[in-house]
Structure 1
């Protein structure tokens, strides 16, 4: 073992993507073990690596961690991205859980039947621009600092940038009415560790494509 975290997941965006974002933001190198077939997944299950029989799974500090929120909480705590006290941690959790709701909508969009996709996309953009993004515009205004919580980078900032970029893939001008979020995006994108992750060739995955779905279903069915 190299000592690097080892990430076990399929070769698309999904529940592992926020884990990669958080490790990258912390400047932590990691290895990926891509599941290509159902047998790959079954081997992890047979070997007793998956507590609840499902991925993502991250090998870190001698543990085989599953459950995305648990993984993210551990990484955030380990690399000082989880606030300085309980109150800051509560704020970070609130912001992250809100963003998780929007993330779920985006993640499942490509799985919608073709005749429902237009309506589903309209729903995603309505919620993004009228429910979620206004919240974070207000948080930045009321807080008055460069970051969402305290005055240092936290997992909430990383998660918000990741979500903003996903929304902009659907609608490039999604931030048109949110000047503070525009500035936030520019600041976060220029943090060296994050800037590196945004470059071509990084482990960041492209948006899920319809052509990827049959193989995913074959692995997880």
Structure 2
């Protein structure tokens, strides 16, 4: 069976959570980085981008777009999506909350530089007052993993969100002991630990080249 193939820019963005999920499942994948408008237009011409949007993942003979569809398919395929409909509902709820927070960080490099400080303050405030208290509450009640007794997409999303926000606000977890323990626990899972090491497919924080490339390819 061929490896999943990821089409995106050479950076985090909406594809990074897909990389996290495949890595946690121990699945090797290939990537094609879009560097030119012509590459994007070829995908459009070939009909690969149903809604004319990235990311795109080729897996199991399908060309999947829409981040949530991609993530949920991979999570279900590799047993990272709970054991029943009740667990999946909770996983979706927590994962969506983490994605809401990550989206604020993902779009930050594309904001005007003059607004950087205000946007950083907003991310810090929402992480500290809305999202992290919610996850802290869940962990106080449940402990271990967010849902059930095994790793799920929700755990991976929350860890990813924590690390993204910590890059901007290093002391953000100081008031959240449960999240500190959670971060340590999930980071030590062998497949996750491997992904967090240098040389893995994990992407670094976005730089100017990544931002400029995305703008040129998508023309916005």
Q: TM-score, length-normalised on structure 2?
A: 0.97
Aligned to 1:31: 30
Aligned to 2:217: 219
Structure 2 portions without partners, runs of 5+: none
Superposed, 1:48-63 pairs within 5 Å as 48-63=47-62
Structure 2 CA distance for aligned equivalents of residues 187 and 101 of structure 1: 23
Superposed, 1:61-210 pairs within 5 Å as 61-143=60-142, 145-210=143-208
> Aligned pairs, how many?
219
Structure 2 SS opposite 1:64? strand
Q: TM-score, length-normalised on structure 1?
A: 0.97
Structure 1 CA distance for aligned equivalents of residues 21 and 78 of structure 2: 9
The superposition leaves residues 111-133 of structure 1 with CA deviations (integer Å, 9 ceiling, x where unpaired) of: 11121110110000000011100
Q: Which moved more, 1:44-53 or 1:18-27?
A: 44-53
Going from structure 1 to structure 2, the CA distance change for 1:156 and 1:219 (only over 3 Å counts) comes to same
Runs of 4+ in structure 1 displaced over 4 angstroms?
none
Q: Which moved more, 1:157-166 or 1:47-56?
A: 47-56
Q: CA deviation at 1:33?
A: 0.8
Q: CA deviation at 1:214?
A: 2.0
Structure 2 CA distance for aligned equivalents of residues 122 and 156 of structure 1: 25
Structure 1 portions without partners, runs of 5+: none
Aligned to 1:22: 21
The superposition leaves residues 178-204 of structure 1 with CA deviations (integer Å, 9 ceiling, x where unpaired) of: 111111111111100001100111111
Q: CA deviation at 1:218?
A: 0.6
- CA RMSD after TM alignment: 1.0
